[in-house]
Amino acid sequence: MENEKNIPELKDDDGIPDTGTPEKPVNEVAESPKVDISEEKTPEPETEIMVKEDLEVKNEEPASETVYTLESTSEDIDRFLSSLPQLKAALKDAPKDTSSVDLKNDDDSSKDDGKETDADKDAIAKVSGLEIPDFVEKFVDLVEEKVSKQDSGEGKAKFGQLSEDTAILLEAVDRITKLNVSLYELRSDPIHGLLINYIGAVQQRAMAYLEVEFRTILEETRTKESDRVTDAKGKQEAKPEADRCTLLPESESTDEDDSFPGYPEEVVSNLNNIAKKMISGGCEFECCEIYMSVRRNAFDESLNKLGFEKLSMDEVQKMQWDAIEREIAIWIKTFKQCATVYFSGEKNFVEAVFADYPSISESLFSNLIRGVVIQLLNIAEAVAISKRSAEKLFKFLDLYETLRDNAPAIYGLFPDECANEIKTEIITVRCRLGEAAISIFCDLENSIKSDQGKTPVPGGAVHPLTRYTMNYLKYACEYKDTLEQVFREHSKIERPDSTSRSDFEDVNQSNNNNNSNNDPDQSPFSNQLMRVMDLLDANLEAKSKLYKDISLSCIFMMNNGRYILQKIKSSSEIHQTMGDQWCRKRSSDLRNYHKGYQRETWTKLLGCLSHEGLMDRGKVVKPVLKEKFKSFNAMFDEIHKTQSTWVVSDEQLQSELRVSISAVVIPAYRSFLGRFSQYLDAGRQTEKYIKLQAEDIETYIDELFDGNPSSSMVRRKQ
């Protein structure tokens, strides 16, 4: 029967009264219960009258003849309660005084006939002969009085300190609950019905009082968080350009936050005490609701303190990226704080308050924290589904790492079933972020492919695309491990680019075959990186063709190649990923361009110094010699004029080039000069044809690749 449901449960929970209470007086009394009780009993009819009178006059007249106090009656009640089982048992065994049973049946329970089983009736009938001593009612009166007094504000809890009065009241509430439970069987009894109704009413009143008390303490005794956590927003704004939010552990504040949610120990034990009374008093739901509503608000407040704001998905989509970046930084901090401090603090707290009811604390915790987690995840999700663009990659990865690194701590706090749900939610968001990161990273391919500008960079300098791509990759490689993981775990998505899909699947395949991560070539991320590098190469190759001068296109390739190699060597992550072999290949490519350049520019120049046609039958042909000097001078001048406008900004490369040029040109020129200058007449002729000494050549070579358009050696010479 439904209406019976609560009662046996309560008995079980409390262990009263059947098993006897552990308090000392109980045992003493238990030995001679009947004597004790019967001495104090009053005739039954009187009891009834007194109850009625008392209900009306109780406020004006507190016990007059015998002075009852809560303390004294409490002892009586305890004795009475502990003797009740025996009394009941005795009554059940004894043959019944039928008059009272009949009376009851005629009167009260006729309307309930259909519902109550015979056994119930029997039980009621059997205990209805029980006599309830005077002091029970007195006790209830006193409790009522106490509750009214407390309710009106005297002795109200201050900062979680229970006043002595409140402590006494709590004890009393316990007793009245026990009375209510123990005497419940008599509720339809015509003699005791009114008294029991009265007990029930006062018990509810006490419960209502405890509700208020419980809420007040929960709400008001928390050490104010503002005292402990410094204003988070302020801090955030102090360093807005913190690139990797993960590098901002607020260690100072976490130490202090160990006490989250910040209730002093004695308050916790008071809350525990009240919760126990409320739950055993049948008000479990009320108690839980209060806990939930207060703690929810408190959580809201705590998150707010960290700067976390509730944002709708729609709002996030419309926000500027820099505003979102700020939210992400706050989010990361909030999530970490929750995972490492708040959630476990809450769990300890709820477990302490509901120490005797593990299933209650478990469900309160799960419901409360699940709400917070989902709320947090919604923001991450909102960011993950926002439009993708290259600059978002790193923040997405920050979010991804935060979820990855902090989630396990969260799972552990939940009971299995709920942990699975939370896990699924977190993993879903992580997937979303991972897929978005892959898509952004792979989009680099497309931005390279689509960079089809037809204007060559002046002077063969490093192309902006090279700079952009390499800096992006270098930055990305700071997240190398995470990117490796992301590619491994989330790259099952179909790549919309059908041309590259097949390679992509191959990559996955080979990755599956070779799970050991030792070989970086096998990871899908480094494959993607390689693909990007190849594309960049191809693109640069195409761009180099835009230069009409082959030498210049060699310089362009050298510049860009050098830049790429330098970037890769400067970052161990990316170096590792690309591998030594790749770098060696790169260096040899560069050497080839270097050779190509030498050949294209300087071998031609040296052609002017060939001995071909210079000698005729052992004699130097002077006009040819003059011609050779003339063309050498002109060509060198031309080279100097053009190539000093070219740009090699890498100093090392610049000096390498100059050295190698000097090494080729100067000895050849010097020996040519040494051998043939004598054939020209000293003076005018020499002046006309030998315009350059070897030292001059060296100087001019040193002026190459400076990106300086004005330097013309002819002009300077004059």
Partner 1 sequence: MPATEYQGSFLGRISIRRNQVMSMEGNHEQELEDLELFQKHVADRFTLLLSSPPETDPTTPTAAATTTTTDPLLSISWLCKLLDMFLCCEAEFKAVLLMGRDTSQISKPPLDRLVPEFLDRTVKALDICNAIINGVESVRHCQKLAEIAVSALEQKPLGDGQVKRAKKALSLLVTALVVDDKDGYGYKGTERTWSFGRRGGSFANKDRGNGQFRSNSWNVAKNWSAARQIQAMSSNLVAPRGAEASGLASPVFMMSTVIVFVMWALVAAIPCQDRSGLATHFPVPKQLQWAQGMIGLQEKIGEEWKKKEKKGAAGLLEEMQRMEKLGQNLVDFTEAFQFPMEEERVEEVEGQVAELGEICRRMEEGLVPLQMQIREVFHRIVRSRTEILDALDHAGRVTGAPIM
Give, as ranges, the residues between 409 and 468 that touch partner 1 (CB under 8 A).
424, 428, 431-432, 435-436, 439, 443, 446, 450
Nearer to partner 1, 318 or 585 (CB): 318
- Please choose, out of 136-144, 201-209, 229-237, 592-600, the segment that lies near partner 1 by the rule CB under 8 A: 201-209
Of 66-74, 112-120, 583-591, 640-648, which part binds partner 1 (CB under 8 A)?
A: 112-120
Q: Which helix (H) or strand (E) holds 620?
A: strand 619-620
Contacts of 364 (CB under 8 A, 6+ apart): 288, 291, 292, 350, 354
Tell the smallest beta-carbon distance from residue 452 to partner 1 (Å).
10
8 Å CB contact between 656 and 559: no
Smallest separation (angstroms) from partner 1 to the CB of 688: 59
Nearer to partner 1, 196 or 465 (CB): 196
The one segment of 11-19, 82-90, 263-271, 307-315 that binds partner 1 by CB under 8 A? 307-315
Backbone φ, ψ for residue 279 (5° rounding) = -70, -45
From the list 31, 39, 111, 518, which residue makes contact with partner 1 (rule: CB under 8 A)? 111
Query: Mutual orientation of helices 321-337 and 358-384 as an angle, nearest 10°?
Result: 160
Contacting residue, 13, 44, 108, 256, with partner 1 by CB under 8 A: 108
Coil vs helix vs strand at 615: strand
How far, in Å, CA of 468 to CA of 388, rounded? 18
**Contacting partner 1 within 121-180 (CB under 8 A):** 180
Report the SS3 class of residue 51. helix
In the complex, the smallest distance separating the C-beta of residue 313 from partner 1, rounded to whole angstroms, is 5
Q: Total residues contacting partner 1 (rule CB under 8 A)?
A: 73
Output 23 or 112, the one with its CB closest to partner 1. 112
Cβ nearer to partner 1, comparing 278 with 574: 278
Instruction: Name the token pair of 287.
Output: 């108690």
Under the binding rule (CB under 8 A), the answer on residue 112 touching partner 1 is: yes
Of 310-318, 336-344, 470-478, 690-698: span binding partner 1 (CB under 8 A): 310-318
277 with 270: CB under 8 angstroms?
A: no
Least spacing, CB of residue 484 vs partner 1, in Å: 22
Min CB(400)–partner 1 separation in Å: 15
Shortest CB 414 distance to partner 1, Å: 16
Residues 518-577 touching partner 1, rule: CB under 8 A, are: none
Tokens of 5: 């449901």
* Residue numbers 260-299 binding partner 1 by CB under 8 A: 283, 285-286, 289-290, 293, 296-297
Question: Residue 177 has which token pair?
Answer: 């609950």
Residue 201 or 694 with smaller CB distance to partner 1: 201
Binder of partner 1 out of 140, 202, 470, 614 (CB under 8 A): 202
Tokens of 628: 């050779």
What's the min distance (Å) between Cβ of 236 and partner 1?
A: 20
> What backbone torsions phi and psi does residue 381 show, to the nearest 5 degrees?
-65, -40
| Token representation of residue 622 | 């002077």
Judged by CB under 8 A, does residue 41 bind partner 1? no
Nearer to partner 1, 435 or 650 (CB): 435
Q: Which of 230, 226, 207 is nearest to 286 (CA)?
A: 207
**388/670 with CB nearer partner 1:** 388
Angle ∠(471,475,479) on CA atoms, nearest 5: 155
C-alpha of 655 from chain center: 51
| Spatial distance between the Cα atoms of 309 and 299, rounded to a whole number of angstroms | 12
Residue ranges in 61-80 that form contacts with partner 1 under rule CB under 8 A: none
CA 657 from centroid of its chain's CA atoms: 52
The region that residue 237 occupies, defined by phi over 0 for left and psi between -120 and 50 for alpha, beta otherwise, is alpha
Under 8 Å between Cβ of 616 and 578: no
Q: Of 78 and 381, which has the nearer Cβ to partner 1?
A: 381
Q: Near partner 1 by CB under 8 A, which window of 74-82, 189-197, 475-483, 709-717?
A: 189-197
> Could you tell me if 193 and 209 are in contact, meaning their C-beta atoms sit under 8 angstroms apart?
no
Per-residue mark of binding to partner 1, 360-379 (x: CB under 8 A): -----------x--xx--x-
Which CB sits closer to partner 1, 281 or 459? 281
Does residue 8 have a cis peptide bond before it, meaning omega lies within 30 degrees of 0? no
Among 73, 166, 188, 644, contact with partner 1 (rule: CB under 8 A): 188
Q: How far is the CB of 116 from partner 1 (least distance, A)?
A: 8
Please name the residues in contact with 409: beta carbons below 8 A apart, sequence gap of 6 or more.
339, 340, 343, 344
The binder of partner 1 chosen from 215, 347, 404, 543 (CB under 8 A): 215
Whether the Cβ atoms of residue 376 and residue 335 lie closer than 8 Å to each other: yes
Question: Is residue 451 left, alpha or beta, with left meaning phi > 0 and alpha meaning psi from -120 to 50?
Answer: beta
In angstroms, what is the minimal distance from the CB of 353 to partner 1? 14
CA–CA gap between residue 91 and residue 98 (Å, rounded): 12
Q: Rule CB under 8 A: choose which of 212, 621, 664, 666 binds partner 1.
A: 212
Euclidean distance between CA atoms 610 and 635, whole angstroms = 14
SS3 349: helix
Quote the least distance from Cβ 499 to partner 1, whole Å.
Answer: 11
* 216 near partner 1, rule: CB under 8 A: yes
d(CA 630, CA 192): 135
Helix axes 343-353, 284-305, angle to 10 degrees: 160
- What the block records as the tokens of 464 is 């902006």
Secondary structure element (H or E) that encloses residue 616, with its range: strand 615-616
Q: Does 8 bind partner 1 (CB under 8 A)?
A: no
Which residue, 440 or 568, is less far from partner 1 as judged by CB?
440
Residue 286 tokens, joined: 């009320």
Based on the shown chain and the rule CB under 8 A, indicate whether residue 358 belongs to the binding site for partner 1: no
Phi, psi of 121 (to 5 degrees): -55, -45
Of residues 383-412, which lie at the interface with partner 1 (CB under 8 A)?
A: 385, 387-389
Name the minimum Å distance from CB 380 to partner 1.
12
Instruction: Kindly state the smallest distance separating residue 406's Cβ from partner 1, in Å.
Output: 20
Q: Compute the least distance from the CB of residue 485 to partner 1, in Å.
A: 18
User: Looking at beta carbons only, is 404 or 562 nearer to partner 1?
Assistant: 404
CB 63 within 8 A of CB 141: yes
Shortest distance (Å) from residue 427 CB to partner 1: 9
Q: Please state the closest distance from residue 382 (CB atom) to partner 1, in A.
A: 8
CB of 311 to partner 1, least distance (A): 5
Distance, in Å, from the CA atom of 562 to the CA atom of 580, rounded to the nearest integer, reads 15
Choose between 258 and 301: whose C-beta lies nearer to partner 1: 301
Residues 315 to 354 in contact with partner 1, rule: CB under 8 A: 315, 317
CA distance 567 to 471: 8
